[in-house]
Structures are given as structure tokens and as C-alpha cells.
Amino acid sequence: MIERYQTPDMNKIWSDQNKYETWLKVELAVTEVLVEDGIVPKESFEIIKSKADFSVERTLEIEETTNHDVIAFLTNLAENIGPDSRYIHMGMTSSDLLDTSMALQCKQAGEIILKKLKNFKLCLREKAKEHKNTFQIGRSHGVHAEPITFGLKLALWSEEIQRNIERWELALETISTGKISGAVGTYQHLDPEVEDRVCKRLGLKPASVSNQVVQRDRHAFYLNMLAMIGCSIEKISVEIRHMQRTEVLEAEEFFSKGQKGSSAMPHKRNPILTERLTGFSRLLRGNAHTAMENVALWHERDISHSSIERVIFPDSTTVVDYMLMKMTSLMNNLLVYPENMKKNIDLTNGLIFSQEVLLLLIKKGLTREKAYELVQKNAMRVWREKIDFNTLLKSDKEIMEYIKEDELDKLFDLSKILININKVYERLGI
């Protein structure tokens, strides 16, 4: 990921330094288990522990010759350890090291994302409480439908993030899988119990069966769940972008002192962050697709997945971490304009209460078809003539045969919707 969007935590996890530290951790865990089994002399392991060290620069230098990153790393270790280095990597293949280490790095990254997901959910819930009674027009097909509250929209978002949390916890569990099963997964040179104990030491589960690699459906699931988080953030971003439109202006991104909008038009306050987050969601979906392409490998393994995984895992986890950080900050500082929400509610001169009138007429004994005809006839006049819907209905003698004026007035009361919105909040525990 380019520096502009890097976060310090993710940058550290996917650094060469942490990668090699993780490799060393795995190698030492395997060697220690072999000591317990009497395969590696204890005194040799003590020497290994005391001398095991690497240099990123030196490892990369060796790789220029070997064209093999794992062999380069092991060679660098051997330079520092000496003859006892022969006990490192015993019975292992490169994928034992790489895939188990990848699981550890994905777990590290995933735990950071999980924490930020939970913080974002709490942020949305606090905003949902704040705007529980802030009336807003609900829209379907982009057209005014019936009133909602802005808090209900926020509560809806918070519940989607909760589902993301649940999915992400499953993705973390799925990816936290190691393997120490050898060149083609037969455990020819190491007993499966070695794998069990190594993985337990590392906080991973052993793959119940593998070939040369941990199967890539796990990795595809992980990347797809990152993409799902991105989709939810995009959903919120698109809504905020709509609300920031000049003719809507119900909410907008915070515009800091000294911030600039357009390079040409000084008056502009553009939704640049939500547009950026929308774009990142596209990147995540592309990476998820690539991860699914990696599931089908030749026979027991090829390396068609290897190069791209070096890109898509750091990039996707870093992007999601960045997106959650920025979106949480955006929501905490979101500018909300209840007065504009109320103004927009009134734009259709009361038409948004048409269903209320329809249902009351049905309760009074009219067929649905007849009631619909009467209400729609008046609604179309409101569209054409821009007159008040309630007033027009009161002038319709056929409708007023069934409805009293005070009954009609009650139908145009916004506060009625709060009764059942309260019930939704109770269900959500907000």
C-alpha cells in the first residue's frame, strides 16, 4: 500500500522485519518441539536460541543470489548460529513456514481490524441515540416515501457493522490455521503431533489435512470478508455523499479550518473522504476476486498464488484499517442539519402521508381499489398544482364522507412514527 494510506500498526505487521521475526518464531517453535521429542539436542537448541538472529538487509542480499526468500533467511540464520543451525527447518518445507507465518500475520492484522470494527459500531450507536427523534424523509428509488428518523438510519448501519463483526470473527478463526506437514502434506518426516504442538504454541489450529499448502479457500474467505466490510463502509459513504448534495444538504463531512474544496471554485465543500472510501471498496472487491482465483492450484501446489498474496493481504488489511479509522472519525464529526431534514420532509406538501389516508379509508369500509383511486387522484393534483395535500383532501367531499377533519389532521402528525421506532431500538438494545 502506498504511504498516503498506510497506518502505523498495519505497516509494522507487514514489514520485512516483522515477517522475518514471525518466521523465526515458527522455526524456533518447531525446533523446540523436536527437542522435547529427543530429535534435537537440548544444548544445540540453547545455542540456537542465544544466537538466532537475522538482518533484513543481509537476507535480501542473499536472496539476490538464491532467488529463494526462505533459503536466504535460513542462510542468514546459519551465518549467525553456526553448525547447530542444521537443526533448524528439519523435516519442513517452505510452505510450512510461509503459510503458518502468514496465518500469524493475518491474525495480528485481523485483531486490529476487529477492535476498530467494534469501536465503529459503538460510534454509530451513540449517534443513533443522539438522533433517535431527528425526523428525516425516507426515500425509495431516490423519491420521497415516508418519514423516518436519522437515528433509525444510523441504527440500521450499526446493526450491519455488528454482522460484519460476527463474520470477521469467523474469518479470523478460519485463517488462524497452521501446517507443519511437509513437502506434500504426508507428514513423512515429522509426526502430526509435532504440528499439533507447534500450532498450539503459536495460538493457531493445525489444518486437519493439507497438501503442500494451507488450502486457499481460507484465504479467499478472509479477503471476501474484508471486501464485505468495505461494502458496508461504501454503503454509508454513498448515503452521506447523497445527503451532502447542495439541493439535499441534510448532513455533510466536517470541513476543517484551512481545508480546500475545489481548486477552481472557492465555495466548494466536497465529500472527498466518502468518495475516497467508495473507491477503496472497489479495490477490496478486486482483491477478493483475486483471492478466489488462488483457490485452484495445480496438484499439491504451485506458486501462482504466492506473488499476488504479497500484495493483496497487506493492501486489503491496511485499506480496511484506514477505512475504519477514517469513517469512525467522520461519523464522530458528521455535520447534521435537522432543519434541512424538516424542510425536505415538507417539499411534497404532505404527500408522504398518503398511505395513512389510504389505510384509514380502508378501515372506514372502502375497498382498497376505491380508496387508492381517491387518494391518488388528489395526490396527482398536489404534484401538478403544488398545493397542500391535507387541505385538498378536506375539499374532497367524497373522501370527507368517511373521514372527520380532526381524524385527517392526526394522520399528518410526524410524532406517530416514534412509537414503533422505540420498539426497534429496544430490539437492538440501544
- Say which residues have a Cβ less than 8 Å from residue 242's Cβ, sequence separation at least 6: 248
Nearest CA among 171, 303, 301 for reference residue 227: 171
Whole-number Å distance between alpha carbons of 309 and 292:
11
Whole-number Å distance between alpha carbons of 157 and 83:
59
Mark whether 262 is an active-site residue.
yes
Marked catalytic residue, from 141, 256, 267, 307: 141
Whole-number Å distance between alpha carbons of 148 and 138:
5
**Half-sphere exposure of residue 68, counting CA atoms within 13 Å on the CB side?**
9
H helices present in 16-93, as ranges: 16-36, 42-51, 56-66, 69-81
Q: Are 181 and 96 in contact (CB under 8 A)?
A: yes
By CB atoms closer than 10 A (0-12, 13-18, 19+), residue 202 is buried
Q: Which residues pair with 177 in a beta bridge?
A: 205
Q: Are 243 and 249 in contact (CB under 8 A)?
A: yes
Whole-number Å distance between alpha carbons of 134 and 151:
7
Max Cα distance, the chain (Å) = 103
- Say which residues have a Cβ less than 8 Å from residue 175's Cβ, sequence separation at least 6: 103, 106, 107, 110, 218, 219, 221, 222
Whole-number Å distance between alpha carbons of 291 and 297:
12
Our separate counts of H helices and E strands in the chain read 18, 6
Nearest CA among 205, 210, 203 for reference residue 187: 210
Whole-number Å distance between alpha carbons of 14 and 284:
17
Q: Which three cell numbers stand for residue 361?
A: 379509508
Q: Are 223 and 287 in contact (CB under 8 A)?
A: yes
Mark whether 141 is an active-site residue.
yes
Q: Length of the chain in residues, anyone? A: 430
Q: Which three cell numbers stand for residue 339?
A: 432543519
Task: Give the three-class secondary structure for 15.
Answer: coil
- Say which residues have a Cβ less than 8 Å from residue 80's Cβ, sequence separation at least 6: 51, 52, 53, 54
Marked catalytic residue, from 15, 68, 262, 304: 262
Q: Which residues are catalytic?
A: 141, 262
